[in-house]
Amino acid sequence: MKRLLLLFVLCFTPAAQAAMPQIELTIHKQTLTAEVAGNDADRMQGLMHRRMLPDNRGMLFVFPNVALHGMWMMNTYVPLSVAFIDEAGTIINIEDMQPHTRDAHSAKKPARYALEMNLGWFRKHGIKPGMKIEGLNRAPPPR
């Protein structure tokens, strides 16, 4: 019985899950590292259950289709800002999101990507809609 419990713990804890790929992105002379959520399971998990997000780190969601994607914060502890990004890498809009809410935050135009960072990160670095993100071409294709 103890072996079965240990196996369950090892297989189903967040540390046991495969790490997401990471890429470096640049926006308005600001460099950041983003984990890439490129498949359904990673996009659904997102930053849920994490207690903190280091400075200049975030999560890039790569969607398989260009659409009016939306985000919410259920089971997410860290307040976040999300930038919705078109296929060309241009920021469409930026939305602030509060932890543990089901409020929908959506792209104002069809988006290919969403980038989540700590709340206020974009504002702090003078990043606004219309600015271009460099390095998106290094993201693995969505699955």
User: Residue 4 pLDDT more than 60?
Assistant: no
pLDDT of residue 18: 59
User: Residue 13 pLDDT more than 70?
Assistant: no
Q: What is the pTM of this model?
A: 0.86
Distance separating alpha carbons of residues 80 and 98, to the nearest angstrom: 7
Consecutive H or E run containing 45: helix 40-45
In a domain, 3, yes or no: no
- 15-56 pLDDT, tens digit per residue, is 434 589 999 999 999 999 999 999 999 999 999 999 999 999
Decide which of 8 and 142 is more confident: 142
In a domain, 63, yes or no: yes
In a domain, 4, yes or no: no
Would you place residue 89 in the very low, low, confident or very high pLDDT band (cuts 50, 70, 90)? Answer: very high
User: Residue 99 pLDDT more than 70?
Assistant: yes
pLDDT of residue 17: 47
Q: Phi and psi of 123, rounded to 5°?
A: -60, -45
- 110-133 pLDDT, tens digit per residue, is 999 999 999 999 999 999 999 999
In a domain, 10, yes or no: no
Beta bridge partner(s), residue 37: 61
In a domain, 143, yes or no: no
Domain residues for 32? 20-138
In a domain, 12, yes or no: no
In a domain, 15, yes or no: no
pLDDT of residue 5: 36
How many structural domains is the chain composed of?
A: 1
Contacts of 109 (CB under 8 A, 6+ apart): 68, 84, 86, 92, 93
Here the CATH number for the domain that contains residue 32 is 2.60.120.1140
In a domain, 5, yes or no: no
